[in-house]
Chain A
Amino acid sequence: QKEVEQDPGPLSVPEGAIVSLNCTYSNSAFQYFMWYRQYSRKGPELLMYTYSSGNKEDGRFTAQVDKSSKYISLFIRDSQPSDSATYLCAMSLDYKLSFGAGTTVTVRA
């Protein structure tokens, strides 16, 4: 069993829809929880991070962590075609990252 599980999708939504992404994990020792965005043929870039259980908002993006269920989510409101990318969840332990497989999202204009 992989430490971090993420549904690879793909996910296709119309412009303006809410995108919901999630990951589950098995290692309760993970310390930080992150979402990276990766455009086609580019390197991943950090989108959001959080440390504790609860919600964190940044503009149209909301990251949610539930440590008791070992479950994290990312919500994108009012999605735009420019949000079309692969979204990777990542979790940190001792400053090493464990990644999910990534979910490919397409926002249709």
Chain B
Amino acid sequence: NAGVTQTPKFQVLKTGQSMTLQCAQDMNHNSMYWYRQDPGMGLRLIYYSASEGTTDKGEVPNGYNVSRLNKREFSLRLESAAPSQTSVYFCASRVGGYSYEQYFGPGTRLTVT
């Protein structure tokens, strides 16, 4: 099992450009999450999907959109990138039910100039 995979690993964007970060999990998990990690701020939840077909805002959703394409895949889109969105983005998944453990992907390092 690959676990949680993310593409791309690195990306540089110019202000105003758009892009989609891809996440996939092969663990048959129900819930998926997108976080951003900034120095001194820890991990902050952007959006999550409790189950296929549902998405909800987290702590810092502004400037982002998500799509739960199917049970395996959960993408994060930046419509018009801003320098404040320079960060490391992590996708995570959770089996669902009463389980609380989240499994994280390797991250995408995004720089917006």
CB contacts under 8 Å to B, within A83-101, are 88, 90, 92, 95-97, 99-101
Minimum CB distance partner of B38 in chain A: A101
Closest to A31 in B: B100
The CA-CA distance from A46 to B41 in the complex, in Å, is 19
Least CB distance from B93 to A in Å reads: 11
Residues of A within 8 A of B31 (CB): 95
Interface majority SS (helix, strand, loop, mixed), chain B: strand
Please determine whether A32 and B90 come into contact, CB atoms closer than 8 angstroms.
no
* A95, B105: Cβ atoms closer than 8 Å: no
Pair A92/B106 contact, Cβ less than 8 Å: no
Q: Are A4 and B104 in contact (CB under 8 A)?
A: no
Docked Cα-Cα span, A81 to B60, in Å, equals 35
- Which residues between 95 and 113 of chain B lie within 8 Å of chain A, taking CB atoms? 100-107
User: Contact partner of A43 among B42, B50, B104, CB < 8 A?
Assistant: B104
A96 and B45: CB pair below 8 A? yes
Given contacts A4-B42, A101-B42, contact A43 B100 (CB under 8 A): no
Chain B min CB distance to A109 (Å): 26
Q: Does B24 count as interface, using CB distance less than 8 angstroms?
A: no
Cα distance A6–B40 in the bound complex, in angstroms: 10
Which residue in chain B gives the minimum CB-CB distance to A95?
B100
